[in-house]
Amino acid sequence: MASASLLKSSPVLDKSEWVKGQTLRQPSVSVVRCLPNAPSPLTIRAGSYADELVKTAKIVASPGRGILAMDESNATCGKRLASIGLENTEANRQAYRTLLVTAPGLGNYISGAILFEETLYQSTTDGKKIVDVLVEQKIVPGIKVDKGLVPLAGSNNESWCQGLDGLASRTAAYYQQGARFAKWRAVVSIPNGPTELAVKEAAWGLARYAAIAQDNGLVPIVEPEILLDGEHGIERTFEVAKKVWAEVFFYLAENNVLFEGILLKPSMVTPGAECKERNTPQQIADYTLKLLQRRIPPAVPGIMFLSGGQSEVEATLNLNAMNQSPNPWHVSFSYARALQNTCLKTWGGRPENVKAAQEALLIRAKANSLAQLGKYTGEGESEEAKKGMFVKGYVY
């Protein structure tokens, strides 16, 4: 039980203990000059979590497995529950999350689960801590740490992601609660530009978050989402993504982020959702892999794609196409709706449907596991799984 040992064997140190006597990560060209026999005035932090970060990232990026994104905020979870006629109460959210994490054998296909803060501290309906249930399933618990999108002043109606204030203390607390990786989502809108200001703001925020998360023992999932909104073709998405990813990795390097201890959660290179010309899975794979090869260092262990409103089947087909030949990285998935949509509708809020809903979740998880291995065929998929889930102007 690799992830279980990882979660339980890592000592939790008081900040005053692990900071004392350590050294801050500095660029290799830096020189700190001290007077003879005088103590350094600078208390510097070393990569005290470096080995653990690398190990965690490799576990999450393990063959045939990917991430279940179940970190919807309470408001977003409320929208999902409303779609099946349920009230947005903590009890209903708890019941649904219990259904997800207790699906038998889920860990065969899922290596990590991104949680909302409420869920990280929540128990199942049977009173067992959700974190403990995940560890028993050999699934690494993760945590959404950003505080959402707000308007970016001076931009073309674009947004920026808030949440850096207090992030160090929050990530330290999440580590103590059992989380071992984190997620921060920044977005770029093609119809609104994107402006250089919005791209740089997204990249800088992701880099600062990543550095802070690593300092506190959490593998940062770096998520520069390029929204599906728009009528643009795949070439335009490709050009924008090249710019965005170049900025992101430039600022990650500037902030001394350990590339071996991160995971990337990007959008696939697809045309805008309202583009009349559609592309095949092979074309999407060709563009996306070409982008990865030009922008992503091989040191990054895992590329965990988001689905971004694609149908369940579409997201799986595209992932499968990208895994038809060997890649320098683990190319996998970090899906929310593309794993949960059929499961949620099958459940419908009824206790007698829990088993059937869990089976629907396992079908999707297994399909994407096969896609990560390049062995998905698409046979026997339901009509529900083929329905698109794009929502124009979708607010996460």
Dump the DSSP string for 12-51: ---HHHHHTT------TT------TTPPPS------TTHH
55: left (phi over 0), alpha (psi -120 to 50) or beta: alpha
Is 274 a residue of the active site? no
Confidence at residue 380, expressed as pLDDT on a 0 to 100 scale:
66
CA distance 224 to 248: 8
Whether omega for the bond prior to residue 194 falls within 30 degrees of 0, making it cis, is yes
Q: What is the pLDDT of residues 231-258, one digit of tens each?
A: 999 999 999 999 999 999 999 999 999 9
The pLDDT value recorded for residue 289 is 97
| Rg value, the chain, Cα | 21
Kindly name the residue from 72, 223, 247, 312 that is annotated as catalytic: 223
Q: Give the chain's residues under pLDDT 50.
A: 1-46, 389-391, 394
Q: Report the distance separating Cα 369 and Cα 357, nearest Å.
A: 18
Using a 10 angstrom Cβ sphere, with 0-12 exposed, 13-18 middle and 19 or more buried, the burial of residue 336 is buried
Amino acid code (one letter) for 156 = N
Strand ranges (E), the chain: 66-70, 110-115, 140-144, 149-151, 159-161, 181-188, 219-226, 263-264, 302-305, 330-335
Residue 223 annotated in active site:
yes
Of residues 265, 242, 262, 241, the one with CA closest to residue 252: 262
Catalytic: which of 158, 247, 265, 312? Answer: 265
Residue 382 has a pLDDT of 59
Separation of alpha carbons 129 and 117, rounded Å:
13
Question: Measured between alpha carbons, how far is 39 from 41 in angstroms, rounded to an integer?
Answer: 6
**Amino acid in the structure at residue 254:** E
Burial of 6 per CB tally in 10 Å (0-12, 13-18, 19+)? middle
